[in-house]
Amino acid sequence: MRSHFLAAAVLLTAAGSALLLFAQSRPAPALAGEPYIHDPSTIMFSDGKYFTFGTGSGGLMSEDGWTWHSGAVRPGGGLAPDAIKIGDRYYIAYASKGGGMSGGHAGAINTMWSKSLDPKSPDFGFHDDSVVASTDGVEDCDAIDPSFLLDPNDGKLWLTYGTYFGFIRLVELDPKTGKRVAGNQAINIGIDMEATVMMYREGWYYLLGTHGTCCDGANSTYNIRVSRSRKVTGPFVDNVGIQALKGGGKLVVGASGRFVGVGHFGLMDLGDGVQKFSCHYEADLDRSGRSVLDIRPLLWNNGWPVAGDNLPEGTYEIQSERSGFALELGVDFVRMDRGGRGGGRGAPAGPVTPVPAQELAQVAKDWPAGNLEIRIGDFLSRPHQKWTVTPVASAGGYPGSPYFKITIAGTERALAATADAEVVAVPTFTGAPEQLWRIDQLTDGTYRIMPKAAPDARQPLALVAVGHSTPTLAKFDPKSDLGRWNFRQP
């Protein structure tokens, strides 16, 4: 596999490249701004901003998790850092050598800490930059690509590292200092991966790593895979029983659409059942084939993590997970021809002909002006049930996505939050915060829908099916299906 040096070089040229967007449809765009980075660390939240660091010095920062710019500062240079917050300290680990730097695989992992990641903060400043693990360039391991795990069960701090040069290793650090526990011996837990990272969920330790070819732009085959173990020290086994020590790994995410070469998983647990992950694409074909940061939903399927997709713009049925019914305008139902005598039963008397869909123009002329009630009803693919979800430029966003407007397809009638924490359709979209919606995919693949702001609301609210057929706004309960929705092709 190729060295990370090439990645760093690519980054340098990417920073000055013009943003080139093509018109082809694709699932959803990667992040806004200038999200050019390679080997991003786990994203941290510090001083009201998001930060991630990459290979080389520096990194990206964002006010909202959607629009990213350069500006993060990380001393030490080197390769593929990771970050974790423990107490009031942000610990950073990075490879100060190895990975082909200086032409060899004698790697070294350094850790350091700062009380802030914001260069403008008086608390910003890294301390105790020193080596916690290393390899000699001969042994079957190259100490690069570090990643932290703070075990939620016992509070122990672990560090994985390694690359395609032999073993992936695990060492224990002191969570009070970020330094190696005295006498700790490295454990081999896998082979031939890059950017390994561990996470814990419901009794399982998951070892994720990037397989495939790095640093070859649109030809990179980078993909993220996973194996799991009941013990932090392994053995880690994939879904078909192949150990990570023998090369196993179940696919979490690979290339799709205009995004090629997915690597460097970093968990973002946003709470309330929303988990996302950061990664980089070796090539965003809509951004000159450069390596960019993205944030995507993390789903769980039968105990295995798998990538979700940020919701692309489009026209959808918005289906309640509670009732299976669809969000709709509160207007008179307009019947279609029922299919001749017998209500459509039996073969047609004449030639088989398609039945035209009910069109918006046939029904919208009779819809009342002004605000309309929103309700939940049997989905029949009718105009009052089809919602167009459109990103709103310059309205900001949240980790992974921009805010959306949600309008009845072909109209400007927009879903809006009200001052009494209910929802209505207003006649015209104005861009007001109560008409902007955050849509997060949850770990089960359903979605949470939240207004950017609801008038007079004292807490974040979400769209909730308070009745079988009645929506409202209420605090989201991750243990309930009331606030879960599906976006389906109508």
* Site residues for another protein per CB under 8 A: 330-333, 335, 375, 377, 420-422, 466-470, 472
Cβ–Cβ < 8 Å for 98, 123: no
Q: Could you tell me the end-to-end alpha-carbon distance of the chain, in angstroms, rounded to an integer?
A: 45
Least spacing, CB of residue 466 vs another protein, in Å: 5
Residue placing its CB nearer to another protein in the complex, 127 or 468: 468
Residue placing its CB nearer to another protein in the complex, 80 or 329: 329
Residue placing its CB nearer to another protein in the complex, 368 or 431: 368
Least spacing, CB of residue 257 vs another protein, in Å: 40
Residue placing its CB nearer to another protein in the complex, 29 or 377: 377
Residue placing its CB nearer to another protein in the complex, 268 or 423: 423
Residue placing its CB nearer to another protein in the complex, 165 or 379: 379
Query: Rounded to whole angstroms, how far apart are CA atoms 92 and 115?
Result: 11
Query: Rounded to whole angstroms, how far apart are CA atoms 73 and 56?
Result: 10
Strand order in the sheet with 147-150: 147-150, 157-161, 167-173, 187-191
Least spacing, CB of residue 270 vs another protein, in Å: 23
Least spacing, CB of residue 469 vs another protein, in Å: 5
Collapse the DSSP code of 475 into the 3-class scheme (helix H, G, I; strand E, B; otherwise coil) and give the result: coil
Q: Which residue has the tokens 């990975």?
A: 99
Q: Which residue has the tokens 């593929």?
A: 80
Least spacing, CB of residue 365 vs another protein, in Å: 15
Query: Rounded to whole angstroms, how far apart are CA atoms 153 and 52?
Result: 26
Specify burial of residue 192 (Cβ count, 10 A radius: 0-12, 13-18, 19+). Answer: buried
CB within 8 Å of 113: residues ≥ 6 apart: 89, 90, 91, 92, 126, 127, 128, 178
Least spacing, CB of residue 333 vs another protein, in Å: 6
Query: Rounded to whole angstroms, how far apart are CA atoms 148 and 82?
Result: 7
Q: What are the angstrom distances between the C-alpha of 191 and each of 170, 234, 249, 484? A: 12, 13, 11, 39
Residue placing its CB nearer to another protein in the complex, 176 or 468: 468
Cβ–Cβ < 8 Å for 58, 72: yes
Least spacing, CB of residue 437 vs another protein, in Å: 20
Least spacing, CB of residue 467 vs another protein, in Å: 3
Q: Residue 307 forms beta bridges with which residues? A: 298
Q: Which residue has the tokens 């399982």?
A: 204
Q: Which residue has the tokens 């990641």?
A: 117
Residue placing its CB nearer to another protein in the complex, 231 or 338: 338
Least spacing, CB of residue 346 vs another protein, in Å: 20
Residue placing its CB nearer to another protein in the complex, 150 or 474: 474
